[in-house]
Amino acid sequence: MARQHIPKPIRRQVVQRANECCEYCLIHQDDRPESHQIDHILALKHGGSDELDNFALACAVCNHHKGTDFYAIDPLEQTAAPLFNPRTQSWNEHFQLAGVEIIGLTPTGRATAWLLRFNEEERLIERQELIEVGRYPLQPRST
């Protein structure tokens, strides 16, 4: 299925709902060199829709690593787990910030943290710099 244009009013709603933060790694859009992107939580090719509740705001790094995936392997249990869904799940139930690392607390959290590469060195350095100036974590608004 061809990717369709997301209307500006819907884009604005997604950005406002997320408080301009990536709904996966929590980095604010102002703290990235490129604008955050609208992510289909469940990709169109997997039966997802262009409805507002299927969109999340994602930084380019998270969106690139996620792609059209909606499951990944939990590195602890070595079983398939659904990826974190910011529309239906609470970030704090699946992840914990431990210093600069984002730790997955559940199979979903661990699978998402692994697939989106939350704890790659460059991302840890970026987070440390943002923590030092009080810019991280900034929380998305609740749904």
Consecutive 10-residue runs of the chain (143 residues): their mean pLDDT? 73 96 97 95 94 97 97 98 98 96 98 98 97 84 51
- Residue 2 inside a domain? The answer is no
Torsion angles phi and psi, residue 31, rounded to 5 = -100, 10
Sign of CA dihedral 79, 122, 84, 35: negative
- Residue 142 inside a domain? The answer is no
Count CB neighbours of 10 within 10 A.
15
Instruction: Give the count of domains, the chain.
Output: 1
Write out pLDDT tens, residues 62-71: 999 999 999 9
The predicted pLDDT at position 5 comes to 80
Owning domain of residue 32: 8-132
- Residue 124 inside a domain? The answer is yes
The predicted pLDDT at position 4 comes to 59
The predicted pLDDT at position 1 comes to 40
- Residue 83 inside a domain? The answer is yes
Model pTM score: 0.92
Distances (CA, A) of 97 to 7, 104, 105: 34, 9, 10
Nearest to 102 by CA among 18, 22, 39: 22
Query: Cis (ω within 30 of 0) for the bond into 33?
Result: no
